[in-house]
Amino acid sequence: MTIPTEINQQATDLRHLLNKYNNLYYVTDNPEVTDSEYDRLFIQLQKLEADYPELLTVDSPTQRVGGKALDKFSQITHSLPMLSLDNVFDGEELHAFDQRVRDWLNTTNIQTYAAEPKLDGLAISIRYEHGILVQAATRGDGTIGEDVTENVRTIQSVPLKLSGDNVPEVVEIRGEIVMPKAGFETLNKQQIADNKKPFVNPRNAAAGSLRQLDSKITARRPLAMYCYGVGEIQGMDLPKTHYETMQQLAQWGCQISTELLQVEGVDGCLAYINKLGEQRDSLSYDIDGVVLKIDDITLQQRLGFVSRAPRWAIAYKFPAQQEMTIVDDIEIQVGRTGALTPVARLQPVFVGGVTVSNATLHNQDEIDRKDVRVGDTVIVRRAGDVIPEVVQVVLAKRPDNTVKFTIPTQCPICQSDVERLEGEAVARCSGGLFCPAQRKEAIKHFASRKAMDVDGLGDKLVEILVDEGLINDAADLFKLTIEQLSSLDRMGEKSATNLIASLETAKQTKFARFLYSLGIREVGEATARSLASHFLTLEALEMADEPALIEIEDVGPIVAHHVVTFFQQTHNREVIKRLLDAGINWPAEQKRISDSELSGKTIVLTGTLEQLSRSEAKEKLLALGAKVAGSVSKNTDYVVAGRDAGSKLNKAESLNITVVDETTLINWLN
Cβ-contact 585, 507 below 8 angstroms: yes
CA-closest candidate to residue 631, choices 616, 658, 614, 649: 649
- First and final C-alpha spacing in the chain: 100
Q: What is the arrangement of strands in the sheet containing 287-294, beginning at the earlier edge strand? A: 87-88, 313-317, 287-294, 112-119, 261-264
Q: Which of 47, 118, 444, 510 is catalytic?
A: 118
Q: Which helix (H) or strand (E) holds 554?
A: none
Question: Could you confirm whether 197 is annotated as catalytic?
Answer: no
How many CB atoms sit inside 10 A of residue 621's CB? Answer: 22
Which amino acid would we find at residue 166?
N
Greatest Cα pair distance, the chain, in angstroms, is: 109
CA distance 480 to 492: 14
CA distance 449 to 526: 15
* Beta bridge mates, 539: none
Backbone phi, psi, residue 618, to 5°: -60, -45
Q: Which helix (H) or strand (E) holds 80?
A: none
Backbone phi, psi, residue 262, to 5°: -95, 130
CA-closest candidate to residue 512, choices 497, 526, 500: 526
Q: Which helix (H) or strand (E) holds 545?
A: none
Backbone phi, psi, residue 604, to 5°: -120, 130
Cβ-contact 382, 320 below 8 angstroms: yes
Alpha-carbon torsion, ordered 657, 660, 661, 662, to 10 deg: -110
CA-closest candidate to residue 290, choices 160, 93, 116: 116
Q: For residue 443, give every residue at least 6 positions away whose Cβ sits within 8 Å of its Cβ, in sequence order, or none.
A: 462, 465, 466, 471, 473, 474, 477
CA-closest candidate to residue 161, choices 237, 84, 60: 60
Backbone phi, psi, residue 443, to 5°: -70, -40
> Which residues are marked as active site?
118
